[in-house]
Amino acid sequence: MLRDKLASYKNLLDALAAAQPEQPFASMWLPNREPELQEVTFGEFLNLANSYAWLYRERGLKCQDTVVLVMNQSIAQMAAFAGALLTGIVPTILAYPTFKVDPQKYRSGLSGVTANLKAALVVLDPEFPEELAQYVASTQTVRFDPFETGHEVPKIEWSTPQAHDVAFIQHSAGTTGLQKGVALSHGAVLTQLVHLADAIKLQPSDRIASWLPLYHDMGLIACFILPLVAHLPVAMESPTDWVLWPVSFLKLVTTHRSTICWWPNFTYQFMARRVREEDREGLDLSSLRAVINCSEPVRAQSMDEFHRAYQAYGFSRAALHSSYAMAENTFAVTQSVIDSQTGPLTVYVDRETVGLPGALTTVAADDPRAQSFVSSGPCLEENQVRIVDDNGQDLPEKVVGEILIQSDSLFSGYYNRPDLTAGALRNGWYWTKDRGFKVGADLFVLGRKDDLIIIGGKNIYPIDIEEIAWADHRVRAGRAIAFGVDNADLGTQELFVVAEVLEESYLAEGPDIQLNIRRSIVNELGIAPRIVQVVPPKWIVKSTAGKPARSSSREKFFREFAEFEPKR
Amino acid sequence: MENTAAIEAMIDYIKTVVLRNPKAEVNQDTPLVSSGIIDSFSLVEVLLELEKITNRRIPAGRVAPSDMDTVVKMFEVAERVGHARS
């Protein structure tokens, strides 16, 4: 039903105009404010958006100018985004600095991104650090809070965009300096939402809950733009508040009777392990009909752990779902079948065949060699996936190759980066650099092609090595990287592992840590690493999504340990 | 300010449970989060331990990650926003 309503809109503003003013829209949990729960109806939200639209006009911005938003997660941030849409100005959201951020790195990243965007205005919130603001490359910077303007602003005339006009820019996850902007048209966004609504069987009774940042496609498209356009309520909190008190998200779900949320894979285990039993009292998760695992390779054990922890609180196994999504496709490419009572398809393959040429061999779930892979589901309508080899030849099912996608919501290029676009878009297909395989209509995603390590003809996924390194209690979980280095003499790659210790004092135990990691890798995978290097805390370069950035860390490694630089 | 025993108990917890290294060099002023000794995902368990040690209910929503950067700061925020348990 909602699918047809979304399909009737010509642009995003048609959808905003059709909203009932008194209908509830956003509820934001703000624990340090009074009241703690800030709530706005669609009418109130559009009034706030109008304040920003007025600001943009006052500052002389024109249709299709770019405005960059660097603000704490808030309803004001969302209104600043919507205000730009109203006036035909192109908004984009960048990550907000935390107190842990390295100022030098943040300055460099922010300056580069805002310069590339040719931003006409950068909007900061009142708390944005002054020492960082001076590095914003823009003609104008403004701090603005629509709740504190204290005066009425005239109603701004809305623009009348065409379907092909750029609506906004979203950034793919990556280190700040290398983030790639994706310009999305009104038509592409609406098309994506129509297919997504269809795939998740979106109903007028649905209610979304989110702790995700709005600079990430999952937070922006699924948890802000979708409810905005489909006129659904969304309950939100900031990632910072969630990480400090994870049960708060489950309380939001309980209070708002939320039905759908999207999470990256690690969230399932975090929620299961970091919420005290006594704090679970009173939770009711029976309203959740889809908790969609997205943006990381989907792991069965993570989802199982969450289900075990919360089934006593009404959480249904049938609510476990998965999706494959990316900013370049606006959002989702695949979605597991919502009506299934068993969750996404899981296949078990002989781990000995993973990484070898040819088809994976399936085995029984209880086979000692079984390695599980969870499907990200079949394609959304008008989305296609191909699995190809390095020459672009299509591969049969169960054979791992690069995932190519084509859809009617695909991006047309990276913003102001034709150099990057040429390599990614070829003959109408987006080459994702993700590795995966298909079984029937289901897509299974394994990881990144460009991080893949090939030693002696065997493909090795870095995550498998890194998890072994994390198992050493002196190595910080999530802070080890593995990469392959070509050795011309051997005609193959060698394995390098860099492991970050929990604290400086562990550096003294470096030789023992190296030995332990080496021994574990050999024991588990039969591969002897060339180098295991132990490094101090905070050494590994992280992406804005908080994940280890392997390529940046690798470059840093060869800068600091030049003696290991491969011969050319 | 909490007494020395309470501060020592928290330092001991961080070393033995969070860092799993009783020999770790942590004192009441050691930056924990900003230096990368503990990451954001560990803060939730540190906060729960702080409640136990101080016998105060601390509304997590009123605590920022920066409030947890050193043991001294933890006890300050517990004093500032916590409520004594009956």
How does DSSP assign A389-432, residue by residue?
-TTS-B--TTB-EEEEEEETT----BTT-HHHHHHHEETTEEEE
What are the structure tokens assigned to A425, written together? Answer: 């878009």
CA distance A223 to chain B (A): 22
First to last CA, chain A: 60
Which chain A positions have a beta carbon within 8 Å of B64's beta carbon? Answer: 32, 99, 240, 244
Q: DSSP secondary-structure letter at A567?
A: P
CATH homologous superfamily of A245-448: ANL, N-terminal domain (3.40.50.12780)
Nearest by CB to residue B66, choosing from A31, A99, A474, is A99
**A331 near A222, Cβ under 8 Å?**
yes
Q: Which CATH number fits domain A452-564: 3.30.300.30, 3.40.50.460, 3.40.190.10, 3.40.50.1100?
A: 3.30.300.30
Chain B residues whose C-beta is within 8 A of a chain A C-beta are 19-21, 23-26, 33-37, 39-41, 43-45, 47-48, 59-66, 69
Q: Select the residue from B15, B39, B51 to test the A interface by mutation, using most A Cβ atoms within 10 A.
A: B39
ipTM of the complex model = 0.81
Q: Which pTM was predicted?
A: 0.82
Asked whether the beta carbons of residue B37 and residue A241 sit closer than 8 angstroms, the reply is no
CATH topology of domain A2-244: Rossmann fold (3.40.50)
Nearest CA in chain B to A36: B61
Asked whether the beta carbons of residue A245 and residue B61 sit closer than 8 angstroms, the reply is yes
CA distance B60 to chain A (A): 6
**What residues does each domain of chain A span?**
2-244, 245-448, 452-564
What are the structure tokens assigned to A448, written together? Answer: 């990144």
Nearest by CB to residue B34, choosing from A100, A276, A506, is A100
Domains of chain B, with CATH numbers? 4-84 (1.10.1200.10)
Which chain B positions have a beta carbon within 8 Å of A251's beta carbon? Answer: none
Minimal CA–CA distance to A549: which of A448, A413, A475?
Answer: A448
Are A245-448 and A452-564 the same fold in CATH?
no
Q: What pLDDT tens digit does each residue of chain A (568 aa) get?
A: 788 999 999 999 999 999 999 999 999 998 877 778 899 999 999 999 999 999 999 999 999 999 999 999 999 999 999 999 999 999 999 888 876 665 665 676 677 777 888 889 999 988 888 877 776 666 688 888 777 765 678 999 999 999 999 999 998 654 344 467 899 999 999 999 999 999 999 999 999 999 999 988 899 999 999 999 999 999 999 988 888 889 999 999 999 999 999 998 878 888 998 898 889 999 999 999 999 998 777 888 889 999 999 999 999 999 999 999 999 999 999 999 998 777 899 999 998 888 788 899 999 999 999 988 999 999 999 999 999 999 999 999 999 999 999 999 999 888 888 888 888 899 999 999 888 999 999 999 987 777 778 776 566 778 888 988 988 999 998 899 999 887 755 556 788 999 999 999 999 999 889 888 887 887 677 777 888 899 999 999 988 767 778 889 999 999 999 888 775 4
**A332 near A325, Cβ under 8 Å?**
yes
How many Å apart are CA A406 and CA A500, to the nearest integer?
Answer: 39
Please name every residue paired with A39 in a beta bridge, in sequence order, or none if there are none. A27
A450 in contact with chain B, both atoms CB, cutoff 8 A: no
CA distance A76 to chain B (A): 19
